[in-house]
Amino acid sequence: MRRLGTLLAVAAIALAFVPHALAPPATLLAALAASLLLEPAALKRAWRLPALLLVLAAAALTTALVGWAAAPSRGLAAGAAVLLRFLALLLLAALASRQVDADAIARGARRLGMTRLGLATGLALNALPHLGEAARDAWTALAVRRRRPLPRLADLPRLAEVLLAHTARVAEEAAAAAALRGHDALARPSAPLPHVPLLVVVTGRPGVGKTPAMRGVAAALRERGVSVAGFVQIPVWGEQGKGGYTVRDVATAQERTLAVKVGERRGEHGTPFRFEPAGFAFARAALERARAGSVLILDELGPVELRGGGHMPAVRRALARPGLAAVLATVRPALIPSFLSQLAVPSAVVVDIEELAEPVAALLAALAPVLPPAG
Amino acid sequence: MRDARAWTHAALFGSLWGAAEASLGTVLKATNVPLSGLVMASVGVLCLLTVRRLQPTVGISLVTGVVAAFLKVFSLGGLVLGPAVGILAEAALVELAMTATASSALGAVVGGALALAEAPLQMAVTAVVITGPEAVVALGKAARALAGWVALPTASPLAVLSAVAAVSGLAGAAVGGLSWRLAGRVTRRLRGST
């Protein structure tokens, strides 16, 4: 019954656009039948007195106009057609507003293979109150700054600029939050890697010692004569906690500033940090040292990389280098599914170092299949 | 690459546009402010060009328009087909212009012109669909007669419509250029704050 009702509603909409004398009554009949099958109460809601008066006025005007321009009989026919079309469209509108909601749209989008569109509309709905609040704040801030209750016309571009920039920041944060939670449904699918070296994912809660473990492994590998390339990212601690990051080339032990804390509002990519292009260039150069037989060290790949930014372009270039022995990458536990999905690798060894007494030894053991025997 | 930013930007800017349509658009329409259609079309052009400048991805303008149309239709609890179709048409025209010109300033000007010129054309098409071609012919005759009574030069309805669309298009070109400039300021603001 429900399917038949939906079909009749669609047919009514299509009939409304057919230029034939029988189309308007057929439209109304189809709309009435759809309403009776789906929701009879829609009739009462759609045809309220003010709406009916408006429709009657439009039909009367059309009758008079066409009657004057052509002939009275033609005027009556045109007026009747307008009346029937409007009545049908009002009914269909009332029906649709009750039957179609955000969930229905998402379901429909999924069925049509447009899942991302459904998710985007859901995100848009959720963002509405936030954007409204931002608009109100921007308006109030401008009024306070200008000492006027209402901004002038000349202030509108400034207001728009603030609001548009805020909207872009929220979009960045939403993408970062999705990556952080391992949601990749809104992301574009990535191309699989041409060569797949042994991939060891090092994980664990923040502060358990992932970066020191990576530095330890790099040193141990160098001692064994294994070529290492890549970088570790070392937090810089200040009086107010983590103040930024430096990036360290594991082959040369040189360092550069990568990120400086500037606060949540001024931060980049939804983080409280400002990133230095020179730091990324330095990390890129460190990755370019990788050659056949190297172990690639990546510490640490976060939400920025999982959205394709930050180190990711250089990482993908390094991973495409033929003959790499292994890749050792630090990733937070929540990001592992997204990370593996992004690289499109068939398998990986995941080492959670949180419970390990000797994390360096455990990582060397994970790399053992591709390492030369220890001298 | 897996980058969700294009979709989140389309969702958020569509949300902004849809919110503006549902609030400012409704108020302007209800209070019968002259040229409210052009004002709202300009807001749409601004949102479309800003999202395109921040995320120059093919198809992003169209997705932004679909999201805005969805919100416009359902935010007030009643299906309003006309404005939703207008939003979709505007987004499609900006998408076309920006894709053809590789997201350049020229595309912004052309897209703005097409988007604003579309508004009077859409009104005419809607009138033809709802009232029928006969009523539109009668309306043209009435307009000519009225013009004759008040001693104004008469012109065919098509010529009048073309003139209105051309003037709207010129205004749209200016709106497109200014919006592209404002979008550039937004981009610099975002980069400068990081």
Work out the number of other CB atoms within 10 angstroms of the CB of residue A208.
16
CATH number at residue A224: 3.40.50.300
Provide the domain limits for residue B86.
Answer: 5-192
pLDDT computed for residue A21 by the predictor: 81
For B88-114, what is each residue's pLDDT tens digit? 999 999 999 999 998 899 999 999 999
Q: Is residue A63 part of a domain?
A: yes
pLDDT computed for residue B64 by the predictor: 94
Same domain (yes/no): A123, A237: no
Residue A116 CA to residue A113 CA, distance in Å, equals: 9
Q: Is residue A123 part of a domain?
A: yes
Are residues A186 and B7, on separate chains, in Cβ contact within 8 Å?
yes
Domain count, chain B: 1
Residue B164 CA to residue A73 CA, distance in Å, equals: 33
| B 144-173 near A (Cβ less than 8 A) | none
Are residues B4 and A178, on separate chains, in Cβ contact within 8 Å?
yes
Tell which of A180, A211, A233 closes a domain: A180
Same domain (yes/no): A19, A80: yes
Q: Is B102 helix (H, G, I), strand (E, B) or coil?
A: coil
Q: Which residues contact A18 (CB under 8 A, 6 or more apart)?
A: none
Same domain (yes/no): A265, A344: yes
CB of A321 within 8 A of CB of A178? no
Is the pLDDT at B77 greater than 50? The verdict is: no
Alpha helices in chain B (DSSP H): 5-20, 26-30, 36-54, 60-75, 81-100, 105-131, 133-149, 157-192
Q: Is residue A118 part of a domain?
A: yes
CA A207 to chain centre: 28
Q: Is residue A190 part of a domain?
A: no
Residue A46 CA to residue A55 CA, distance in Å, equals: 12
Domain count, chain A: 3
Same domain (yes/no): A175, A204: no
For A208-244, what is each residue's pLDDT tens digit? 889 999 999 999 999 989 999 999 999 998 877 888 9
Residue A154 CA to residue A143 CA, distance in Å, equals: 13
Q: Is residue A294 part of a domain?
A: yes
Q: Give the A:B interface size as CB pairs under 8 Å.
A: 194
Is the pLDDT at B152 greater than 80? The verdict is: no
If you average pLDDT over every residue of chain B, what do you get? 83
Same domain (yes/no): A283, A358: yes
Provide the domain limits for residue A204.
Answer: 198-370
Same domain (yes/no): A359, A302: yes
Same domain (yes/no): A264, A333: yes
Q: Which of A371, A207, A234 is nearest to A295 (CA)?
A: A371
Q: Is residue A185 part of a domain?
A: no
Report field, pTM of the whole predicted structure over 0.80: no
What ipTM was reported for this prediction?
0.85
CA dihedral (B175, B181, B187, B193) in degrees, to 10, reads -120
Q: Is residue A187 part of a domain?
A: no
Same domain (yes/no): A172, A247: no
**What distance separates the 2 farthest-apart alpha carbons in chain B?**
67
Same domain (yes/no): A210, A339: yes
Instruction: Identify the closest residue of chain A to B48 by CA–CA distance.
Output: A164
Report the relative pairing of strands A349-352 and A241-249 from DSSP bridges: unpaired
Same domain (yes/no): A203, A337: yes
Across the strands, what pairs with A202?
A330, A351
B54 contacts on A by Cβ (under 8 Å): 168
Residue B151 CA to residue B132 CA, distance in Å, equals: 29
CA B41 to chain centre: 4
State residue A273 phi and psi, 5-degree precision: -110, 150
Residue B158 CA to residue B121 CA, distance in Å, equals: 10
Are residues A174 and B134, on separate chains, in Cβ contact within 8 Å?
no
Are residues B2 and A187, on separate chains, in Cβ contact within 8 Å?
yes
Q: List Cα–Cα distances, B81 to A26, A97, A209, B72, B84, in angstroms.
A: 20, 12, 58, 9, 5
The conformation of residue B22, written as its DSSP 8-state character, comes to I
Phi-psi region of A370 (alpha: psi -120 to 50; beta: other; left: phi over 0): alpha
Same domain (yes/no): A45, A24: yes
For A318-346, what is each residue's pLDDT tens digit? 888 888 999 999 988 877 876 776 776 66
Are residues B54 and A168, on separate chains, in Cβ contact within 8 Å?
yes
| A 209-238 near B (Cβ less than 8 A) | none
Q: Is residue A375 part of a domain?
A: no
Are residues B70 and A16, on separate chains, in Cβ contact within 8 Å?
no
Are residues A187 and B139, on separate chains, in Cβ contact within 8 Å?
no
User: A108-122 in b/e burial notation, b at 16+ Cβ within 10 A?
Assistant: ebeeeebebbbbbbb
Tell which of A114, A146, A180 closes a domain: A180
Same domain (yes/no): A230, A333: yes
Q: Which of B190, B164, B169 is nearest to B45 (CA)?
A: B169
- Interface contact B142, partner A, CB < 8 A: yes
Among candidates A58, A78, A93 on the partner chain, residue whose Cβ is nearest the Cβ of B134: A78
| A 322-351 near B (Cβ less than 8 A) | 338, 341-342
> What is the distance in angstroms between the Cα of B47 and the nearest Cα belonging to chain A?
8
Of the residues A65, A82, A164, the best mutation for testing chain B's interface (the one with the most B CB atoms within 10 Å of its CB) is: A164
CA B190 to chain centre: 26
For A265-292, what is each residue's pLDDT tens digit? 677 766 778 888 999 999 999 999 998 8
Q: Is A48 helix (H, G, I), strand (E, B) or coil?
A: coil
Tell which of A115, A149, A180 closes a domain: A180
